Amino acid sequence: MRIPSELVRLDGQVHAWLPQFPGTWGMANCVVVTSGATEPSESTHSPGSPHSPGSEILLVDTPYTAPLTRALAAAARRVAGPGARVSTVVNTHANGDHSYGNGLFPDAEIISTDANLAHLCAEPTPGQLQAMLDGCRDEVAFERYLLAHFGRYDYGGLEVAPPTRTFSGRLDLLVGSTPVELYEVGPAHTAGDLVVHLPASGVVCAGDVLFVGDVPVHWAGPLSGVIGACRQILDLDPQVVVPGHGPLVGPAEVRAYMAYMEELRGRLHALHGAGVDVEEASRVLLREHRRPGLGLWERLGVLAAVEYRHLGGAEEPISLVEVLASAVRLAPDCVPAAVASRRELTAELAGLAGLAEPAGDEDEGGVKVRTV
């Protein structure tokens, strides 16, 4: 497990923040786009020279907690230089692990899709998650699962900062002279997904329409929408794709992911057509469609439940927590026998991040971050 203190350099304007926490929830990738070029350093995974004062930064997604967001901002400072400011945040979708950090950049324009606002209604707030996790009991299997995967996150003081600018279809931006293209690709993972294309760099930021290293979870669907979103990524002819979670990949890995989604979709449609109910369909996926090397297999139950909703024509909103609880119940081997206390888990994450909790508002190296 690793929380990065440095960014991965993709080119002079584009760097990636890639937490390495396979097999768990909440550690999402972010991308930093700067308005001026840095000089290549000896290591391709190291930042280059500082930008000139007054540089602007566009962030693609923000982390799950205030300490993680400050870690990202600190890493951005090392490539942006004095006087740089985060002027724009683009949220690929509304899940908290990609957007809860928005509020720490109070001067930034926050951009997402019109449809993204619909998912905000279904997403638990930071306060709701904090209360739920603080009340989890070790003797209840699902609550123990929640502690194991979410108990390390302290959401204290965070509030949802929704988009200040939305769009449908496509939106083109400039960060300095760097073109940034936003494409709406949802509904797929959520109702309002977008991908970010950086044509001058050959990079696409996929958000959670693409997972690498773990079984994906898709809350909106259908799976045909996820497959279509990935096809749109390939149509942009990227050299590098930044998934929502996991390491950087290329087009070949995107195609392999699409094939897996096609496999799951085909099996679920066949089971539904044969009259198999959703719980048994979930068990079939859990028995027969786990992939070696992919963690979080219990998410197969979520994929089955969401796809069956589409096949059955259900329209009412889903409860994300209830759908996950049902999936975990069908995969009891995913629940650890014991888990550390919430206090111990949050302390462990703070230690990994090497983060302090400063008080008040600060402007560190030009990148303004509101502390909570």
Q: Round to whole Å and give the CA distance between 210 and 301.
A: 18
Cβ 210 vs Cβ 241: under 8 Å: yes
Residue-wise pLDDT for 186-203, tens only, equals 999 999 999 999 999 999
Q: Which long-range contacts (CB under 8 A, 24 or more apart) does 35-42 make?
A: 35/175, 35/176, 35/177, 35/178, 36/176, 37/12, 37/13, 38/9, 38/12, 38/13, 38/79, 39/12, 40/9, 40/12, 41/9
pLDDT at 3 over 60: yes
pLDDT at 364 over 70: no
Lowest-confidence pick of 82-86, 243-247, 285-289, 367-371? 367-371
Cβ 76 vs Cβ 82: under 8 Å: no
Q: H helices of the chain, where?
A: 66-80, 116-120, 126-134, 141-150, 223-235, 251-273, 278-288, 299-312, 320-330, 342-353
pLDDT at 93 over 50: yes
Stretch 344-359: mean pLDDT, rounded?
Answer: 69
On the 0-12 / 13-18 / 19+ scale of CB atoms within 10 A, 325 is middle
Please state, as a whole number, how many other Cβ atoms lie within 10 Å of the Cβ of residue 4. Answer: 18
- pLDDT band for position 175 (cuts 50, 70, 90): very high
pLDDT, residue 178, reads: 93
Q: Round to whole Å and give the CA distance between 319 and 34.
A: 38
Q: Which residue has the higher pLDDT, 362 or 89?
A: 89
* Backbone phi and psi for residue 145, each to the nearest 5 degrees, phi listed first: -60, -45
Residue-wise pLDDT for 290-324, tens only, equals 998 999 999 999 999 999 999 999 988 888 999 99
Q: Round to whole Å and give the CA distance between 30 and 8.
A: 11
**249 DSSP assignment:** B
pLDDT, residue 121, reads: 64
Contacts of 148 (CB under 8 A, 6+ apart): 24, 335, 336, 339
Q: What is the DSSP string of 296-363?
A: -TTHHHHHHHHHHHHHHT--SPPPHHHHHHHHHHH-GGGS-S----HHHHHHHHHHHHT-----SEEE
Stretch 331-339: mean pLDDT, rounded?
Answer: 96
Closest listed residue to residue 19, CA positions, set 83, 81, 78, 63: 63
Q: Round to whole Å and give the CA distance between 201 and 342.
A: 41
Residue-wise pLDDT for 217-269, tens only, equals 999 999 999 999 999 999 999 999 999 999 999 999 999 999 999 999 999 99
pLDDT at 45 over 80: no
pLDDT, residue 136, reads: 95
Residue-wise pLDDT for 122-166, tens only, equals 778 999 999 999 999 999 999 999 999 999 999 988 999 999 999
Pull the structure tokens for residue 207.
């958000």
Strand 361-364 to strand 109-113: parallel, antiparallel, or no bridges (unpaired)?
Answer: unpaired
pLDDT, residue 275, reads: 98
Q: What is the mean pLDDT of the chain?
A: 89
pLDDT at 356 over 50: no
Cβ 177 vs Cβ 55: under 8 Å: no
pLDDT, residue 318, reads: 83
On the 0-12 / 13-18 / 19+ scale of CB atoms within 10 A, 246 is buried
Pull the structure tokens for residue 262.
């096609």
Stretch 159-179: mean pLDDT, rounded?
Answer: 95
